[in-house]
Structure 1
Amino acid sequence: MRKNSIKNTRINGEVRRELSNLILNEIKDPRICPMTSVVEVEVAPDLKTAKAYISVLGDEQEQKDTLAGLKSAEGYIRRALAKSINLRNTPEIRFVMDQSIEYGVNMSKMIDDVNRNSRREEDDKDDQAGE
């Protein structure tokens, strides 16, 4: 099975959906931030391992705590996935912090700041020309 085959893409989507549901509704660990989302899941073609990219809305400490809570719940999560998804092998899940959303928000703020500053400079030039 190729890595980007249709079957693998479907499995990735199904695991992501179930994992999101588990984190949101079933895991009761207080370390896990309620604003945690599963961005992407990459299941290996042999179905033995999976990388789950998660995003946490919060500061660095909340991100570390959430990652620690998810790592401690890996066994429970794998068992729950085995019950809900009918796969030959239930993948062993590794959680990876995804910074792409935070990076995008910061870049958007920086672009807005640059646009705001350029407008001010144009307004200042117009005011000086009008005097």
Structure 2
Amino acid sequence: MARPAKPSGPNQRQLRIGEVIRHALAELLSRGDIHDEVLARHVITVPEVRLSSDLKLATCYIMPLGGGDVKPVLKALNDHKRYIRGEIAHRVNLKFAPDIRFLADESFAEAERVDAILYSDKVRQDILKQPLRIQTDEQDDD
């Protein structure tokens, strides 16, 4: 008998715990609980936290507001990784506190790239060639 295919994405528990860790990390950063000059000078966004399937590794994607100075912020966060892990362990009720890894969030750059493609002259020409038809409920009845 064949086994059912494993789901490719994260399960519900990974998503829920990732969101709880994201909120705890964002609270740490917004309150200024981490005493570092680099972190104090930046407003840092935490758009996503992904957990490994065994919940032992949390990958935190971060981006400073405005997108600049990513490397110094990543270095400062990595320097305070032990403290951050301890604080998150106190705030999140888990059997094991996950190890934390910080990476720069690339989703903003990807969104800009897609916007540039959508608003390019070539795409604009294609849209102008074929008029957009919006079908309403009244047209369905005909």
Category of TM-score, reference length = shorter chain:
0.7 to 0.9
CA contact (8 A) 1:67 1:97 kept: yes
Unaligned runs of 5+ in 2: 1-6, 126-142
Q: Deviations over 1:85-122 (max 9, x none)?
A: 1100101100000122134246536755749x98xxxx
Which residue of structure 1 lines up, in the alignment, with residue 43 of structure 2?
Answer: 35
Say what the alpha-carbon RMSD is for the aligned residues: 2.5
TM normalised by structure 1 equals: 0.73
Q: Which residues in structure 2 correspond to 1:72-91 (within 5 Å)? A: 72-91=79-98
- For this pair of structures, how many residues does the alignment match? 115
2:59 aligned with 1:51, yes or no? yes
Q: TM-score, normalised by structure 2?
A: 0.68
Separation in structure 1 between the aligned mates of residue 108 and residue 67 of structure 2, nearest angstrom: 13
Q: Deviation above 6 Å: which 4+ runs of structure 1? A: none
Larger RCO, structure (CA 8 Å, separation 6 or more): 1
Query: Are the counterparts in 1 of residues 14 and 55 from structure 2 also a CA contact under 8 Å?
Result: no
* Other structure's SS at 2:76 match: helix
Gaps of 5+ in 1: 119-131
Percent identity reads 29
